[in-house]
Amino acid sequence: MAQKNLPPILVVDDNRDNADIIREYLETRGYPITVAANGEEALALFETVKPAIVLLDVMMPGRDGWEVCRIMKQHPELGRTVRVIMVTALNELDDKREALQMGADDYVEKPFDLATLAATVQRNLAMQRTAKAS
C-alpha cells in the first residue's frame, strides 16, 4: 500500500508470475505499483501513471523492451525525468551498448534477487532526486 508518498513504479513483464513477485515485494515496501503485461499496455499506461521508474522486461512479444524504452524516453515531458531500468540477462557488452542506445539508465540482471532489485530502484530514485534538485 502506498502510504509514504513514494513515487509510482511501472512494472512491465509478460510473465505474470514475475510481475506479481516484483509487485508484491515493492508494494510491501510502500511503492505504488502498476503492472503492464506488454509493451502496448505499458505505453498506454505511461501518461496516466507518470511513473518515476519503469522496470522493463526486454523479451516481450509485440513491442519489446528496447522499443518501449526508446518511445518512453522520447516522450516530450515524461521522457526527461523517467528512469528506465531494463530487466534482462544483459551480460554481453553489446547488450549494454544497445541499452545505452535506447536511453536506458540502469539494468537488473536476470535472474535477480529481490534485494538487488530494491537497491537498484533506490539508487535510481536517489539519482532522480539529485537531478531534480540541481
31: left (phi over 0), alpha (psi -120 to 50) or beta: beta
| Rounded-to-integer distance, Cα 33 and Cα 30, Å | 9
Among 75, 81, 110, 112, the residue binding another protein under the rule CB under 8 A is 75
Q: Which is nearer to another protein, 59 or 123 (CB)?
A: 123
Instruction: With contacts defined by CB under 8 A, name the span among 12-20, 52-60, 111-119 that binds another protein.
Output: 12-20
Identified binder of another protein from the candidate list 5, 28, 76, 132, rule CB under 8 A: 76
The three-class DSSP label of residue 106 is strand
List the one residue out of 66, 47, 57 whose CA is nearest residue 11. 57
**According to the binding rule CB under 8 A, does residue 1 interact with another protein?**
yes
Candidate list 14, 41, 53, 58; residue touching another protein; CB under 8 A? 41
Stretch that binds another protein, among 50-58, 99-107, 111-119 (CB under 8 A): 99-107
Render the burial of 29-56: b for 16+ CB within 10 Å, e for the rest: eebbbbbbbbbebbbebbeebebbbbbb
* Interface contacts to another protein, rule CB under 8 A: 1-2, 16-17, 20, 32, 34, 37, 40-41, 43-45, 47-48, 71, 74-76, 79, 93-94, 96-97, 99-101, 103-107, 120, 123-124, 127, 131
